[in-house]
Amino acid sequence: MNSILNRIILSLFFIIFLSSCSKPTSNTTSYIQVLSKEVDKKFTHLITVKNPYDKDATPFNITIQNENLWNLIEENRIYFSSYEYKDINKRVDLLTIKYPSQADSKTNKN
């Protein structure tokens, strides 16, 4: 009986340890203006963006997982997007991107 209880407790500690190893992420939804597009040495597709409505905004890079999507994004255009901060190294992945006119789903159609 005692060994079973020890195994259960050890298993619980192991599960808690594994669940604490996941990296924290943070999601953000905002307007972005695409300043530039590039492909780095590892063939990662990136866009450099900033918030066009914040005069103190600092430009940052967003990683685009899909090359076709990266090809459709236009420089100097404003989009409504969601992106996720992946890690402490400031890796940011794009989740969704839309033209601002498509972001409002409550548009009246008469």
CA dihedral 29, 76, 107, 96 (to 10 degrees): -40
H-assigned helices in 21-88? 67-72
pTM summary value? 0.69
**Residue pLDDT, tens place only, 43-98:** 899 999 999 999 998 999 999 999 999 999 999 999 999 999 876 567 899 999 99
DSSP string covering 74-97: -TT-EEEEEEEE-STT--EEEEEE
CA 67, distance to chain mean position in Å, is: 16
Domain 26-103 has CATH 3.40.50.2020: no
Cα 107 from Cα 5, distance rounded (Å): 60
Question: Hey, where are the domains in the chain?
Answer: 26-103
